[in-house]
Amino acid sequence: MKQLHIKSRNIISLVIVLIFSISLVHSQITSYPYLEDFESGWGQWSINSVNGITSWQYGIPSGAVISSAASGSNAFVTNLSGNYLDNENGYLLSPVFDFSSLNSPVVQFSLWWNCEYNWDGAVIQYSTDLFTWNNVGSLGGGTNWFNYNAIFSVPGGSSEGWSGRTITGNGSNGWVTVSHPAPELAGLSNVYFRFVFASDGSIFDEGIGFDDFEIYNAYVDIPDSQFEQALIDQGIDTEGTLDGQVLLDDISSILFLSIDNYNITSFEGLQFFTSLLAFSHINNQAATINPIDFSSNSLLEDIS
C-alpha cells in the first residue's frame, strides 16, 4: 500500500509538472492586434503530429516552388527545401489566445499551397480544450478561404480546406493573404489554433507554406459620440452611423487626422490608427480629455 501511495503521488506530481510546462510554452496572448511574422523565432508555436509523420519545418524556405517567406526570411513550410511525406498528418499549434476583449475577431495569415489536388490538403481549426477541434470559417466565406470540400486525406478530420497545385490550376501560385471573420470566438478566454496538413500514400509535392499570422478586431470601439461624428463628417467612418464603433479597415491606413471644433472628452480608439503620422485637435470644446495610451501609434510624430 505504501508503494502504491508513492506511485500515485509521483503520478500527481508528474501531471502538475506537465500542466505547468504546457502553460509555460503557451503563454496567453491578450494584446491585439496580434501579428506573428516568425522572424524572431517560433513565436510560441510548435510542430506536432497526429500519427507521428510530419514534414513541417521552421526556417528559410528554399524549395523549387516555395522559395521564400511571405515576409522577411522565415516561415513554416512542409519541408523547407523539398517535398512533403506520404501519409503525413502534422500540424502547427498556436499559443493560447484570450479573446475576452474582442467582439468581432478576424483570423488572417499568409498561405502558399502546392499539393496533390483532391487527395492532400490543409485546414485551420480552433479549440478551447485541445481535444475538440472545429474549422475556422467555411468554404465560400472570407477572403481566399478554403477552395475545396472533398479532401481525401481529411486534415484534422475535415474534408474542407485548401488543396491543389499550380500545374493543375488550383494551387495558390505564390503567397496569398487569407482571412475570415470568426464571430464564434468573440469573448472566449482560452482559444488555440492548429494548422493541419495531411497527405495520402502516393504523389507528393512541396506542400504548404504558413507565415504572418494575425488576429484583429474587425471593429474598433469609439465610445465618444462626438469623436465618431467627426470621423463620419470626414468620411472616415464609411458606415456613417453613430453606433459606437468603426471598421478597422476604415482607420488603419489613415496618415493624418485633424479633429477641430468638437466637444470630445475621449479619443479612445485613436490607438488603432496605427499608420497615423500626425494628429491635431484644435479648439476642442471639452473641459477635460481622458488620457490615452499612444504606444501602439509607433509612427506618430506630431500631436497638436
**Residues 37 and 183 reside in one and the same domain:** yes
- pLDDT tens column, 227-266: 999 999 999 999 999 999 999 889 988 999 999 999 999 9
Kindly state the cell numbers that stand for 169: 490550376
**Residues 163 and 119 reside in one and the same domain:** yes
Domain boundary among 217, 250, 270: 217
Which pLDDT band holds residue 297 (cuts at 50, 70, 90)? Answer: confident
Report helix, strand or coil for 137: coil
- Averaged pLDDT, 78-82: 97
Average pLDDT, the chain: 89
Given its phi and psi angles, is residue 10 left (phi above 0), alpha (psi -120 to 50 degrees) or beta? alpha
Report helix, strand or coil for 248: helix
Specify which residues 245 forms β-bridges with: 221
Residues 209-241 as b or e (16 or more Cβ within 10 Å = b): bbbbbbbbbbbbebebebbbbbbbeeebbeeee
CATH number, residue 253: 3.80.10.10
Element of type H or E holding 25: helix 2-25
**Residues 50 and 125 reside in one and the same domain:** yes
Kindly state the cell numbers that stand for 86: 506520404
Q: What CA–CA distance (Å, rounded) separates 250 from 236?
A: 6
- pLDDT tens column, 116-171: 999 999 999 999 999 999 999 999 899 999 999 999 999 999 999 999 998 888 99
**Residues 146 and 282 reside in one and the same domain:** no
Residues 133-165 as b or e (16 or more Cβ within 10 Å = b): bebbbeeeebeebbbbeebebbbbebbbbbbbb
**Residues 186 and 80 reside in one and the same domain:** yes
pTM of the model: 0.76
Query: In this model, does residue 14 exceed pLDDT 50?
Result: no
**Residues 116 and 256 reside in one and the same domain:** no
**Residues 245 and 203 reside in one and the same domain:** no
134 lies in a domain?
yes
**Residues 128 and 230 reside in one and the same domain:** no
CATH number, residue 117: 2.60.120.200
Q: What CA–CA distance (Å, rounded) separates 106 from 113?
A: 21
Contact call for residues 89 and 153 (beta carbons, < 8 A): yes
- Domain of 155? 28-217
Quote the number of domains for the chain. Answer: 2
18 lies in a domain?
no
Give all strands (DSSP E) within 50-181, no chain letters: 56-59, 75-78, 89-93, 105-114, 121-127, 134-135, 176-181
**Residues 60 and 100 reside in one and the same domain:** yes
**Tell me, what amino acid is at 266?**
S
Q: What CA–CA distance (Å, rounded) separates 178 from 2?
A: 58
Domain boundary among 193, 217, 241: 217
Name the residue with higher pLDDT: 291 or 109.
Answer: 109
Kindly state the cell numbers that stand for 167: 500545374
The per-residue pLDDT for 287 is 64
291 lies in a domain?
yes
Q: What CA–CA distance (Å, rounded) separates 262 from 237?
A: 16
**Residues 172 and 226 reside in one and the same domain:** no
224 lies in a domain?
yes
178 lies in a domain?
yes
- Averaged pLDDT, 182-198: 97
1 lies in a domain?
no
- Averaged pLDDT, 15-29: 52
3 lies in a domain?
no
Kindly state the cell numbers that stand for 270: 485613436
Kindly state the cell numbers that stand for 249: 479597415
Given its phi and psi angles, is residue 56 left (phi above 0), alpha (psi -120 to 50 degrees) or beta? beta
The per-residue pLDDT for 242 is 95
**Residues 178 and 72 reside in one and the same domain:** yes
Q: What CA–CA distance (Å, rounded) separates 128 from 190?
A: 5
**Residues 227 and 241 reside in one and the same domain:** yes
The per-residue pLDDT for 26 is 58
Q: What CA–CA distance (Å, rounded) separates 192 from 289?
A: 38
Distance of CA 288 to the CA centre of its chain: 38
The per-residue pLDDT for 295 is 72
74 lies in a domain?
yes
Q: What percent of the chain has pLDDT over 90?
A: 71
Domain boundary among 161, 196, 217: 217
Longest dimension (CA), the chain: 81
